[in-house]
Amino acid sequence: MTTYKSKIKLLGLAFAMIFASSCNKWLDINQDPNNILDAPIQQLLTNATVNLGFTGGSDLFRYSTLLSQQFSGQTTGGFTQTMEYERYNIQASDLNNVWLSLYSTTLSDLDIVIQKANASGSPHYAGVAKVLTAYTYQLIVDAWGNAPYTQALKGVDNLNPVYDNGADIYTNLFVKIDEAIADMNAATSALSPGTNSTIYPGAWADSRPKWIAFANTLKLRMYIHYSKINPTFTGQKITELVNSGATFIDSNDKNFQMAFGTTPNNTNSIHAFELSRPNYLFPNKTLVNLMNAKADPRRSSYFTPFPYTSNPAEYFGASGGDAPGINYSRMHTYLRGTASGTAVPNAQGGIPATGTGALTYSGSAPIRMLVAAEYYFIRAEAALLYGAPGNAQQLFQDGIRASMSNAGVSTADADAFIAAHGTLSGSNQEQLRQIIEQKFIANYGVVMEPWTDYRRTGYPVISIPVNAILTAVPRSLFYAQSEIDLNTNAPAQKPDLLSPVFWDN
Amino acid sequence: MKKLYLILLGILCLASTSLVAQIQVTGTVTDPNGEPLIGAGVTIKGTSQGTITDFSGMYSITVPDGSTVLVFSYTGYTQAERPVGTDTKIDFVLQEGVLLGETVITALGISRDKSQLGYGVAEISSQELTRAKTTNVTNSLAGKVAGVRVQGSGGSFAGSSIIIRGLTTFTQSNQPLFVVDGIPIDNSGGGNPLQNGPVNSNRAIDINQEDVENVTVLKGPAAAALYGSRASNGVILITTKKGAKGKRGTITYSTSYAWDQVNRTPDYQNEYAQGLGGNYNNTSFASWGPQITGQQVTNWFGETETLAAYPDNVNDIFRTGSNMQHNLSFAGGSDRSSYRLSYGYLDESGILQNNRLQRHNLTFNANSQITDRLLVSTSATYTNNASTRSQQGNQLSNPLFRGWFIPRSYDLTNLPFEDAVGNQRYFGGEDHVYWTLKHNRYNDEINRIYGNVAVRYDFTSWLSGEYKIGVDMFDFVRRGYDQIGARGGANTSANGLGGILEGNDLSKNLNSYFTLTATRQLTDDLNLVFLLGTEAFKNVRENTQVIGRGLVVRDFQRITNTSTFNPTYASAETRLVGVFADASLSYKNFLNLNLTARNDWSSTFNADNRSYFYYAIAAALNILELQPSWKGGFVNSAKLRANYAQVGKPAGAYSTETYFGIGGSADGFGPQIVYPFGGLTGLTLGNGAGNPLIGPEFTTNFEIGTDIALWDNRVNLEFTWYNQKSKDIILAAPSAPSAGISSFIRNAGEIDNKGIELGLSVTPLRTSVGTWTVGVNFTKFTSTVTALSEGVTNIFLGGFVTPNVRLVEGDDFGQIYGNQYLRNADGRILLNANGLPRITTGVDKIGNPNPDWLMGVTNTLTFGGFTFDFLLDIKKGGQIYSRNIADLERNGVAASTAEFPRFNADGTPNLAYKFDGLLPDGSENNVFVTAEQYFGNAGKYVAAEGFIYGTSWFRVREASISYRIPKRMLGNLPFSGIEIGAFGRNLFLHAPDYPHLDPEQNALGISNAQGLEFNALPPARSIGVNLRVTL
């Protein structure tokens, strides 16, 4: 009995010893082999630019393009989210995804790029990441107003970032952009972005001037946003910037855009949405009618004709609350890339989005985020109204020409259009309308800016959809539900979509 | 390495012990009529050693010489004990009885006298399990055990979720551990995809139920603590059939065939045609068109067609499925060893075409008493399980995405759906039902081996050691083919360009146990069973997948036939080591105390937090034993039991760090960027932050209960009350994205489970010719989320922007949230000027999927050779959001949408509906609207709240009748037994609050998120026949 007892005790002791010695080693395997604890700066920048390009044709694009009525949300009978968005039924939880991708992916990765660039003595990387950060925050302020900025992106160190005033963020972004330009101009940099950036890919020597032109043009864009609350500031700042000899996106080869591939899951996000959600988006009557009124030659690359076989080609847009169906023009090569195949229209002349009888697109058209035409139209507006240098008339025509060229319109056709419609006339207000309408057309497929221009100028004139749930055009988006739920420093949710951002008061 | 230590240790012990004599005992176990009891249990009291009787009721068992007691048991009979003494032949007659006084198999395969247990266990015999044949063993458990909630996720291939006594964790699995013959096996899977791919089975589907001798459900941590961390949600303990020693071989063949049909189909209107606003429209998938009067229309194909209703256009989608099973087994043994070899084949054809599952099971087990002291046993199962399945989820390639509401005037059955090449021809934006079933294909195949080898050595008459090693390994191959022109995501989201999926999942589980068991009669009244053991566990998973998009040649299913392909590989490994001790001390038969202690070391924590200890104390008090004079009355036995127990649970792999991974982009609508992108790859810092400080989560249970047997054991009552709390729950706590992360791992959160279990068994009739037994099991528990992570108001478990399922502090587990109709302070609905409802901008609680209670009622009637049995399954409460019903209404196909004529005599729309609410000016609504407006996209459909339904049901879950041909009638035939029978499942359903469909569906399958029904495969009703022949 006693011997057995002691034997049991001995066994227990043996067990304990075995575990003490070998256990820990056997259990030291908790390092994820599928991921890494540190990542090179190059691939972090790639992911940031890819996400920005994607976002330029994704959620935020759909909200802003529907609110500004470049597109209309339609259906062939079922429930579609785009239809709801167009009638201003955009809910706080709809915004979780874009908010997450902007902050937790794009800005968070850019932030690490800046840290790594500083640590490795690579100011060129820091400069690019800073200007992209500024661009991203500009989108955020324009869409939401106040937003986390000074305390954002601190991870577990600050789970409840405060919301900074949109105006303060803008002010700080100008500083950030200037820092970015200085960084990009640095004579030496251990590492410089190259083909790993999907925006302005290529040798740094070639891309640096484009990045700097973009940085300056972004400042121009942000200055013009002050036109409603402080036109003097707009005029003064644009004058200063132009007179400083800064370079701008003055030709389409400098456009701030991202090119896409033709293979599935490498195509642009507007095209991919058209395939995965066929018949959710059709060109809006507001846009199509503006272009129809002037027989705009860009229509042949912007839209498919409706009826499809009409000759001369006719174009027909949709508007919120229209009867379900596919009998409208569709977006075309300008947004989706080269088309092939033969479309088979239905009896009314509508063509299917996918499958038999649909056109096939390459999907490689770029997502355009700031184009040369916008630069010229900003300059035209500033020259016309805010005392900035330049000839508004000439700049207006330069803008149209840049847009025509971008849409593949021949010089002859562009000249003809300008001869017919390229002269600013009437009151300043009337001329502003002409500029913004052309800007609206030129910014076809550009995320946010057409909605911003509408909020700033009231152009183009928009008719509120018959089935809208608000009686006015939305002025900003709800704060994402995830922030309301999880950030104790988030402000109270907006009562509706009519709260203006700081430059819209 | 450690294994080696353990073996060495064992050898050391061997060398130092003395020999002890053993004797062979044989005999026959019969019922009071002298009929042999086949498969009756004969075990050595206080050990896991035992055998079962063969087809003549004979057994043979080797017992240590000395103070050994044999325990005889058989389901439906009162368990009895008999000291062996020096007898070598013991024939035994078992008396009929129920439930109490049985030996049950508990943790680590230890058989224990149920009257000595301080915790609740339940046992299901193979007969109970397989009366109504199903493919998946989890489905067979529904309604049979108190305290257990089985939730089917719909469809015959789909699995069922098993929740024992409530939910213990937030986002990790709440499913119990499955253990076969003492070794845990993998029951992962069964989650349904939301956007891509097919419906899924939980891996318990690989088990052949015909090989199962019995199933024991260990409900609480006290019962399960010996299995450690993985047992915090309870254990389903499966014991397989074994051969009998000392008996000539027997051959058993059984077969069954069942026919399956959709259990419930919607009530359709057949008056109004495809279209909108009263007009025929051949591209609309709504049925708000004109009244069908035989008018001529031009259909989508451009042909003139006479408008007609096709009442069965949806029903025709479903065929009669079938389930065929064949099982052949050989069992036998010599006086020192026994074996059983079986082969099972199952072939199930689903109710949708191209859905088929074929399973082969080859099971072998054997044990041999090599010397008087050395017993070697093994058990192994090889499973080959291959299936073809169709697409599922919220995607246009799911045949049921819009399949339930095909326009009433569309002749889906007969109109063509493709041209000669296979190009789809269909008006809708989604894939045609038959086109996607034919062309978007998926098949999988699993090759799986699980089994164990055990060596037991009896050092002395009272001390034995056992080493057992078990593996469960499978290779799961998945193959998908998406046809060119597919409109939905199907397997690969190839945007209509066609795609190929090739996936391989490898799972390896290795378990090793070393245990020492000492059984001592300390004094005449005091008996001790002491067990000391170690466990080492290792789980490795590898997943290889290649998705190719852009098919070059149609119907050539090879990955190289695609223009781009993205390979991925991922692996994960976790390890765990445990040391445990269990002491069971009995004083007479009166009091039993059971102490269990365990320490685990998990690889998923950093070294500092790796070790954690937990324990259990259980007591059982048999009141009648207190005073001998109390015996002999109408109370046969009365037991009080109580226990307090804890189980710790580790984290998932790799949650202690934040990693960079391959990036990409996606927006939830389908568009995405997958690397490589033009030759580039991007990396991103993970949005989920790890935490080096996390430690285990704990579940603590306090339980009291009683077991009472009355009137000759004709009435048996079991009652348990428990309170189970989980704390320090490990979760990825969501955080505001503006911090740059969307979640971080931490120990936070608490769940409180309170519940009762009631089991009642009554035998109103017990005569020599027949018995009638009624059993009732009642389950009621609430799982309350008492704390979430600090600063977190809710945790998203699954679903959509609206509706979704989430955890909210202070509320029941997994509430349904969605948008509601806008109301004023008085609760009146606020309407637009057009008389249609408005909606809230955010989401609010709209439903609770947790049932109030569940009840199963079994009835077993035996008469002569006949056995008639049925199982009623009653569920009270529990809500579900039904997107299918919403779709049936908003598209005007439900019969209810044609309750009133849609048009007046003059052809104008009939304004027959009015919402109860207030107009914008505050006045009572007086705007009447059409059915289309009322049910349409801007009407009732706007808010998810409108489609919350109660799922209370009463169903005849199972019914069976069987007849065993008496031996004397078999005469000179070479058979020793023939049994024939018929059975049915889901024979009757009464769900008063749930129209159109069977509420037993869950869009997300086996998931902690229950309560959303969304285009899932419908459950089936089956009727079948079976035959069993014994040679």
Provide the pLDDT for residue A21. Answer: 58
Mean pLDDT value of segment B658-663: 94
Which residues on A lie below 8 Å from B685 (Cβ)? Answer: 39, 44, 108-109, 112
For β-strands B22-30 and B92-93, DSSP reports them as: parallel
3-state secondary structure B850-908: CCCEEEEEEEEEEECCEEEEEEEEEEECCEEEEHHHHHHHHCCCEHHHHCCCCECCCCC
Q: Residue A207: which of A250, A251, A254, A249 has the closest Cα?
A: A254
Mean pLDDT value of segment B998-1026: 85
**Is 70 exceeded by the pLDDT of residue A244?**
yes
Q: How far is CA A124 from CA A116, A177, A341, in A?
A: 12, 13, 44
Are A62 and A69 in contact, with CB atoms under 8 Å apart? no
**Does the CB of B439 have a partner CB in chain A at under 8 Å?**
no
Out of B2, B277, B791, name the one closest to residue A159 (CB).
B791
Question: Is the Cβ pair B682, A47 closer than 8 Å?
Answer: yes
Provide the pLDDT for residue B76. Answer: 62
**Is 60 exceeded by the pLDDT of residue B155?**
no
Residues in B 660-679 with any Cβ partner in A closer than 8 A: 660-661, 663-665, 667-674, 677-678
Q: How far is CA B832 from CA A102, A286, A317, A496, B244, in A?
A: 35, 26, 28, 16, 77
The Cα–Cα gap between A134 and A177 comes to: 7
The Cα–Cα gap between B623 and A331 comes to: 83
Question: Is the Cβ pair A156, B689 closer than 8 Å?
Answer: yes
**Is 80 exceeded by the pLDDT of residue B92?**
yes
**Is 80 exceeded by the pLDDT of residue B345?**
yes
Are B539 and B177 in contact, with CB atoms under 8 Å apart? no
Which residues on A lie below 8 Å from B497 (Cβ)? Answer: 264
Provide the pLDDT for residue B872. Answer: 92
Are B42 and B61 in contact, with CB atoms under 8 Å apart? yes
Q: Chain B closest CA to A78's CA: distance in Å? A: 7
Out of B423, B669, B742, name the one closest to residue A104 (CB).
B742
**Does the CB of A344 have a partner CB in chain B at under 8 Å?**
no
**Is 80 exceeded by the pLDDT of residue B918?**
yes
**Is 80 exceeded by the pLDDT of residue A63?**
yes
**Does the CB of B516 have a partner CB in chain A at under 8 Å?**
yes
Q: Greater confidence, A192 or B128?
A: A192
**Is 80 exceeded by the pLDDT of residue B589?**
no
Provide the pLDDT for residue B11. Answer: 37
What is the residue-averaged pLDDT of chain B?
87
Question: Is the Cβ pair B570, A34 closer than 8 Å?
Answer: yes
Provide the pLDDT for residue A452. Answer: 98
What value of ipTM does the predicted structure carry?
0.92
The answer, yes or no, to whether the previous bond of A460 is cis (omega within 30 of 0) is: yes
Are B1009 and B161 in contact, with CB atoms under 8 Å apart? no
Res. A155 pLDDT band, cuts 50 70 90: very high
Provide the pLDDT for residue B1030. Answer: 85
Provide the pLDDT for residue B68. Answer: 73
Residues in B 921-960 with any Cβ partner in A closer than 8 A: 937-938, 941
Per the structure block, which two tokens stand in for B353? 């075409």
Res. B6 pLDDT band, cuts 50 70 90: very low
Range among A414-418, B1-5, B155-159 rated most confident: A414-418
Provide the pLDDT for residue B9. Answer: 39
Question: Is the Cβ pair A347, B890 closer than 8 Å?
Answer: no
Q: Chain B closest CA to A131's CA: distance in Å? A: 18
- Return the exposure string of B109-141: e unless at least 16 CB atoms fall within 10 Å of the residue's CB, then b: bbbbbbbbbbbbbbbbebbbbbbbbbbbbbbbb
Residues in B 685-724 with any Cβ partner in A closer than 8 A: 685-687, 689, 691
The Cα–Cα gap between B528 and B531 comes to: 10
CB atoms within 10 A of CB A10: 12
Mean pLDDT value of segment A30-50: 95
Q: Residue B735: which of B722, B748, B723, B750 has the closest Cα?
A: B748
**DSSP per residue, B535-593:** EEEEEEEEEEEEEEEEESSTT---GGGEEEEEEEEEEEEEEEEEEEEEEEEEETTTEEE
Provide the pLDDT for residue A11. Answer: 60
Per the structure block, which two tokens stand in for B915? 């919402």
Res. A13 pLDDT band, cuts 50 70 90: low
Res. A177 pLDDT band, cuts 50 70 90: very high
Provide the pLDDT for residue B169. Answer: 84
Provide the pLDDT for residue B494. Answer: 85
Question: Is the Cβ pair A152, B1 closer than 8 Å?
Answer: no
Provide the pLDDT for residue B84. Answer: 80
**Percent of chain B residues past pLDDT 70, beyond the cut:** 94
Are B873 and B856 in contact, with CB atoms under 8 Å apart? yes
Q: Greater confidence, B1001 or B781?
A: B781
Residues in B 60-79 with any Cβ partner in A closer than 8 A: none
Mean pLDDT value of segment A129-145: 98
**Does the CB of B776 have a partner CB in chain A at under 8 Å?**
no
Q: First and final CA of chain A: distance in angstroms?
A: 92
Classify the C-alpha dihedral B177-B180-B182-B183 as positive or negative.
negative
Which residues on A lie below 8 Å from B741 (Cβ)? Answer: 104, 108, 155-156
Out of B5, B689, B792, name the one closest to residue A486 (CB).
B792
Question: Is the Cβ pair A356, B674 closer than 8 Å?
Answer: no
**Interface probe, candidates A2, A7, A34, chain B, greatest B C-beta count within 10 A:** A34
Per the structure block, which two tokens stand in for B472? 């469960």
> In DSSP terms, which residues pair with A360 in a beta bridge?
A340
Q: Chain A closest CA to B755's CA: distance in Å? A: 31
Which residues on B lie below 8 Å from A154 (Cβ)? Answer: 739-740
Which residues on B lie below 8 Å from A346 (Cβ)? Answer: 283
pLDDT digits (tens, 9 = 90+) for B273-309: 999 899 998 888 899 999 999 999 999 888 999 999 9
pLDDT digits (tens, 9 = 90+) for B100-136: 346 676 767 677 777 777 787 788 888 888 877 788 8
Question: Is the Cβ pair A347, B682 closer than 8 Å?
Answer: no
- Chain A to chain B, count of Cβ pairs less than 8 Å apart? 353
Res. A488 pLDDT band, cuts 50 70 90: very high
**Percent of chain A residues past pLDDT 70, beyond the cut:** 95
The answer, yes or no, to whether the previous bond of B764 is cis (omega within 30 of 0) is: no
With 0-12 / 13-18 / 19 or more C-beta atoms within 10 angstroms meaning exposed / middle / buried, residue B425 is middle
Q: Greater confidence, B636 or A142?
A: A142
Are A343 and A359 in contact, with CB atoms under 8 Å apart? yes
Per the structure block, which two tokens stand in for A382? 């500033």
Provide the pLDDT for residue A284. Answer: 97
**Is 90 exceeded by the pLDDT of residue B693?**
yes
**Is 70 exceeded by the pLDDT of residue B905?**
yes
Question: Is the Cβ pair A154, B739 closer than 8 Å?
Answer: yes
**Is 80 exceeded by the pLDDT of residue B64?**
no
With 0-12 / 13-18 / 19 or more C-beta atoms within 10 angstroms meaning exposed / middle / buried, residue B546 is middle
Res. A9 pLDDT band, cuts 50 70 90: low
Res. A7 pLDDT band, cuts 50 70 90: low
Residues in A 283-342 with any Cβ partner in B closer than 8 A: 323-326
For the ranges A191-200, B219-228, B839-848, B924-933, the lowest mean pLDDT is seen at: B219-228
Q: Any idea what the Cα angle at residue B699 is, between residues B694 and B705, rounded to 5°? A: 175
Helix (H, G, I), strand (E, B) or coil at B734: strand
Q: Any idea what the Cα angle at residue A306 is, between residues A305 and A311, rounded to 5°? A: 65
Mean pLDDT value of segment A132-159: 96
Provide the pLDDT for residue A19. Answer: 56
Provide the pLDDT for residue B20. Answer: 46
Map out the domains of chain A with their CATH numbers: 41-259+443-500 (1.25.40.390)
Provide the pLDDT for residue B967. Answer: 74
**Interface probe, candidates B281, B738, B809, chain A, greatest A C-beta count within 10 A:** B738
pLDDT digits (tens, 9 = 90+) for A304-346: 999 999 999 999 999 998 888 899 999 999 999 999 999 999 8
Residues 6 or more apart from B679 whose CB is under 8 A from it?
A: none
Residues in A 418-447 with any Cβ partner in B closer than 8 A: none
Are A212 and A131 in contact, with CB atoms under 8 Å apart? no
Q: Residue A254: which of A411, A129, A139, A368 has the closest Cα?
A: A368
User: Chain B residue closest to A14 (CA)?
Assistant: B9
pLDDT digits (tens, 9 = 90+) for A71-96: 999 988 677 899 999 999 998 889 99
Res. B7 pLDDT band, cuts 50 70 90: very low
Residues in A 41-70 with any Cβ partner in B closer than 8 A: 43-44, 46-48, 50-51, 54-55, 57-59
Q: Chain A closest CA to B858's CA: distance in Å? A: 46
**Is 90 exceeded by the pLDDT of residue A373?**
yes
Q: Chain B closest CA to A26's CA: distance in Å? A: 8
Q: Chain A closest CA to B779's CA: distance in Å? A: 35
Strands in A254-402 per DSSP E: 256-258, 281-283, 339-340, 360-361, 367-370
3-state secondary structure A93-129: HHHHHHHHHHHHHHHHHHHHHHHHHHHHCCHHHHHHH
**Interface probe, candidates A265, A354, A356, chain B, greatest B C-beta count within 10 A:** A265
CB atoms within 10 A of CB B323: 23
Q: Chain B closest CA to A380's CA: distance in Å? A: 36
The pTM of this model reads 0.83
Q: Residue B204: which of B185, B217, B229 has the closest Cα?
A: B185
With 0-12 / 13-18 / 19 or more C-beta atoms within 10 angstroms meaning exposed / middle / buried, residue B964 is middle
**Percent of chain B residues past pLDDT 90, beyond the cut:** 50
**Does the CB of B298 have a partner CB in chain A at under 8 Å?**
yes
**Amino acid at the residue A428:** N
User: Chain B residue closest to A277 (CA)?
Assistant: B669
Helix (H, G, I), strand (E, B) or coil at B988: strand
Provide the pLDDT for residue B18. Answer: 36
Element (H, E) at B807: strand B804-808
Mean pLDDT value of segment B434-454: 94
Residues 6 or more apart from A194 whose CB is under 8 A from it?
A: A201, A202, A203, A204, A207
Are B245 and B335 in contact, with CB atoms under 8 Å apart? yes
Res. B86 pLDDT band, cuts 50 70 90: confident
Residues in B 43-62 with any Cβ partner in A closer than 8 A: none
Question: Is the Cβ pair B653, A99 closer than 8 Å?
Answer: no
